[in-house]
Structure 1
Amino acid sequence: MVKQTIKLAAIGDVHDRWEAEDEAALKALGVDLALFVGDFGNESVEIVRLISQVQIPKAAIMGNHDAWYSATDWGRQKSPYDHRKEDRVQQQLDLLGEAHVGYGKLDFPNFNLSVVGSRPFSWGGSKWKYEQFHHERFGVESFDESVNLIMNAVEQTASDTILFIGHNGPKGLGDRPEDPCGKDWQPIGGDHGDPDFADAIAQARQLGKKIPFVTFGHMHHTLRHTQTELRRAIHVDTAGTVYLNAASVPRIIKQDGQKLRNFSIVTLEDGIVTQAELLWLDANFKTASKTVLYQIQEAEAIA
């Protein structure tokens, strides 16, 4: 029997670094499904417009920077536009349409999977933040209510195989500053993952859903407290779920006079993650460098 192989691109925090060439790069890589984990910019409507026009199957979730001028008193004071006349948060959501899966889901029957989004616009951590924003936008006032919204989406998925995407990752992936959601600012250390995301993953498993892959960003690979190592990008739990922090920022750089762009490329074979790589592509979409982040062991593949 022929294996179904799917090539995913997990696209970490964009922060205004997305170009028309990026879609061409995804096509050159043969990507089947693109997963965007938010922070497109500081309410950067034009960047989101570009991403909304990507013709490859895609799912996206909004990050904290995507509500930078709307979610906090500080942000509204610094806002470059009049909120009485314009709502750039809603403009971004409208542009993405059904591709935005925050508190929602998108079924991909051709791939025998569904994508579910955790809480959109997450800042991370175990404290419920920006109460007014989440209440007005989504009618949620607590982590428990947030879990309920995520689970409503899980229960409506057409597939029993779910890929989860979030802006910030779930709690439980480690409390060292180098861990995928570890706190790398003073005081150093602590798990900055989202508790509602973790609870939703656990509850989805209890419903019998298979969760081979979870991806997110927010906590950048470069660390604030040290330059001698990078954040750990991969975590594998006891159930075999592969978690990927895709926030290699900045995702477009200039090196030795040439422009390079990165994508995290994940291979799914019959619903199992077999490989994850961080690729940097040159202007001709050739691989300038590759870091293998995860490779399934032969014994695991047989099992």
Structure 2
Amino acid sequence: MTSQSKQDETTVIAVVGDIHDQWEAADGIILQKLGIDLALFVGDYGNESVDVVKAIADLDIPKAAVFGNHDAWYTATAWGRQKCPYDRKKEDWVQEQIDLLGEAHVGYGKLDFPKLNLTVVGSRPFTWGGSSWKNEDFYQERFGVASFEESTARIIAAARSATYDTVIFLGHNGPSGLGDCPEDPCGKDWQPLGGDFGDPDLTEAIAQTRAAGKQIPLVTFGHMHHKLRHTQKYLRKPVHVARETVYLNAASVPRIVENGSDRQRNFSLVYLQSGIVSQVSLVWVDRDDQIASEQILYQQQSQLVQPA
């Protein structure tokens, strides 16, 4: 099969939003039954939850993953280290998680998927978000990165090494530039309200990768939960579209809920057609592994041809 014919097929991608310890054996079974081509994990598996990361690493499906701020909860900050439940001189749960995921971990890296004719590039791992450089010691010790500029360079280097012209960016937090209202995909929804809490290094890396001629149909992330902290009247905007790129916040938390006598779990499904996102849906799957509900978050507008 040629690269062009592969690209003309529909690729189905499941994006798994912030898990926060809500991962069960049923989730892996459902991913198999959904018939997806690729699973993307945006991080926050729990507070350095090695067991959850191991379960995801053991999934026998094409996948790529990044780590979120909760995945270094007891390591990256001084207050987190004070609460650490294990002996840091004997154990390193952050490194255990990284080792478990192996090549599936794309933070500051990339993973090519030849059967899909695309490359997934990971942004800065363990990000807390925002326009100030945080956790200096952690990033210097773990990754040799000391600034947004150096972080941008790491992401760009990964994108430049991509084998394919179609690149998907996977992050824990999304890029800056998607809006500064509390309900925007990376908007600040705690006091003082408002402000863009996206990652500027990811924004710059996307811009330079696009300028280098790569096609970027999808940038997906989580971190900023759909439920807003300051109001229950409406939810966060999960999708932003700009320059033929769909930006998807997949953090519908909690991702497993009790619905009457049923137990349902959510996944975001992204459909790629000819290298372009044609649809994005948030689906809830019931205990019988059936899609109980589907919310279409984005649908590509058809080009209508006017009669002569």
Measured in 1, the distance between the counterparts of 2:226 and 2:210 equals 28
Does residue 193 of structure 2 align to residue 211 of structure 1?
A: no
CA deviation string 1:268-292 (max 9, x = no partner): 0111000000000001111111110
1:276 and 2:292 equivalent? Answer: no
Q: Return the alpha-carbon distance in structure 2 between the equivalents of residues 300 and 193 of structure 1.
A: 35
CA distance in 1, matches of 2:36, 2:9: 14
Deviation beyond 4 Å, 4+ runs, structure 1: none
Matched, 1:89 2:108: no
- 1:185-224 equivalent positions in 2, closer than 5 A: 185-224=190-229
Matched, 1:69 2:62: no
Q: Give 1:200's aligned amino acid.
A: A
2:33 to 17, 25, 28: 28
Residue number among 73, 79, 86 corresponding to 2:84 in the alignment: 79
The reply to whether residue 43 of structure 1 matches residue 48 of structure 2 is: yes
1:140-168: per-residue Cα shift (whole Å, max 9, x none)?
Answer: 00000000000110111100110000000
Instruction: Give the TM-score normalised by structure 1.
Output: 0.98
Taking the aligned partners of 1:20 and 1:105, their CA distance within structure 2 comes to: 27
Residue 244 of structure 1 is matched in structure 2 by 248
Counterpart amino acid of residue 247 in structure 2: Y
Any unmatched runs of 5+ in structure 2?
A: none
Equivalent residue in structure 1 for 2:13, among 8, 12, 17: 8
**CA–CA distance in structure 2, aligned partners of residues 284 and 172 of structure 1:** 40
% identical aligned pairs = 62
Which residue is 1:56 aligned to?
61
Q: Secondary structure at the match of 1:46?
A: helix
Say which SS state the counterpart of residue 303 (structure 2) adopts.
Answer: helix
Could you say what secondary structure the match of 1:179 adopts?
coil
Deviations along 1:234-272, one digit per CA (max 9) or x if unpaired, are 0001x1100000000011111102110000000001110
- Report the residue type matching 1:10 in the other structure: V
What do the CA deviations read for 1:126-152 (whole angstroms, capped 9, x no partner)?
000000000000000000000000011
- Displacement, 1:300? 8.5
2:74 partner SS: coil
Q: Distance in 2 between matches of 1:285 and 1:165?
A: 26
The CA deviation at 1:23 is 1.1
Q: Distance in 2 between matches of 1:299 and 1:245?
A: 26
Q: Which residue of 2 aligns with 1:227?
A: 232
User: Which whole-Å CA distance do the structure 1 matches of 2:303 and 2:44 have between them?
Assistant: 38
- Measured in 1, the distance between the counterparts of 2:157 and 2:143 equals 13
Per-residue CA distance 1:92-115 (angstroms, 9 max, x = gap): 000000000000000001101000
1:183 and 2:188 aligned: yes
Closer/same/farther in 2, CA of residues 42 and 184 from structure 1, 3 Å limit:
same
* Structure 1 residue 294 corresponds to structure 2 residue 298: yes
Q: Specify every segment of 5 or more residues in structure 1 that has no aligned partner in the other structure, as ranges.
A: none
What letter corresponds to residue 188 of structure 1 in structure 2? Answer: L
Q: For residue 297 of structure 2, what is the amino acid of its counterpart?
A: L
Q: In structure 2, do the counterparts of structure 1 residues 270 and 300 end up closer, same or farther at CA, with 3 Å as the change threshold?
A: farther
CA distance in 1 between partners of 2:54 and 2:198 (Å):
29
Query: Aligned-pair distance for 1:210?
Result: 0.5
Distance (Å, rounded) in 2 between the aligned partners of 1:229 and 1:70? 34
Please state whether the residue corresponding to 1:134 is helix, strand or coil. Answer: helix
Aligned counterparts of 2:262 and 2:225: Cα–Cα separation in 1:
23
Q: Distance in 2 between matches of 1:285 and 1:56?
A: 18
Q: Distance in 1 between matches of 2:235 and 2:194?
A: 15
Q: Residue type matched to 1:252 in 2? A: I
Please report the TM-score for the alignment, with normalisation by the length of structure 2.
0.96
| SS of residue in 1 equivalent to 2:149 | helix
For residue 206 of structure 1, report the CA deviation from its aligned partner.
1.1
Paired residue secondary structure (1:299): coil
